[in-house]
Amino acid sequence: MSKITALDLPMVEPLPAPTQKYFDICLDKLGMVPNVLQAHAFDIDKLNAFTGLYNDIMLADSGLSKLEREMIAVAVSSINKCFYCLTAHGAAVRQLSGDPMLGEALVMNWRVADLDARQTAMLRFAEHVTKESHTIEEQDRQALRNVGFSDRDIFDIANVAAFYNMSNRVASAIDMRPNDEYHAQSR
């Protein structure tokens, strides 16, 4: 197996029972354990913090669909040029949307994707969070409300964008490599 990151941080062996169960669920549902999880498994507390935040932001109840959250992940990762997240979340967009072209467009430049007004406003805001969040003003939030997002949705968009900005920086800094399986999924 090739290295998951450029760092020499081996996984805890043996994994604690709850962690092993989580990895087994990943194997069952995804056919693999995502490398991002394996990369964090040198420190179970860090892994648990990462998965807890990921699960809350990406899987918990929200006015944003799973696809919309994955679209934000890809748009942000495209701006940040994060190889890991573009590969993994690009595959998720292809799978959730059933549209390989959407996944590819978002990876390259979200503006070339065939998006509706709601998706466009959402990704424009995520880009703003990524590039210069300190300049966001009420008119930026109002633009989201104008296309149907609630204040809770705006909070969720900001959190998804911020989570991937953090994750992109870590993944790039440690040269985290995506699982090979992602490359061929849903094409």
- What is the structure's pLDDT at 15? 97
pTM, rounded to two decimals = 0.95
- What is the structure's pLDDT at 1? 56
For helices 66-80 and 44-59, angle between their N-to-C axes, nearest 10 degrees? 120
Rounded to whole angstroms, the Cα distance separating 165 from 159 reads: 10
Domains of the chain: residue spans and CATH: 17-59 (1.20.5.810), 66-184 (1.20.1290.10)
- What is the structure's pLDDT at 184? 65
Rounded to whole angstroms, the Cα distance separating 128 from 162 reads: 11
Structure tokens at 143: 């633009």
- What is the structure's pLDDT at 2? 75
Query: Do residues 82 and 168 touch, judged by C-beta distance below 8 A?
Result: yes
* List of the chain residues with pLDDT < 70: 1, 183-187
Q: Is 164 left (phi over 0), alpha (psi -120 to 50) or beta?
A: alpha
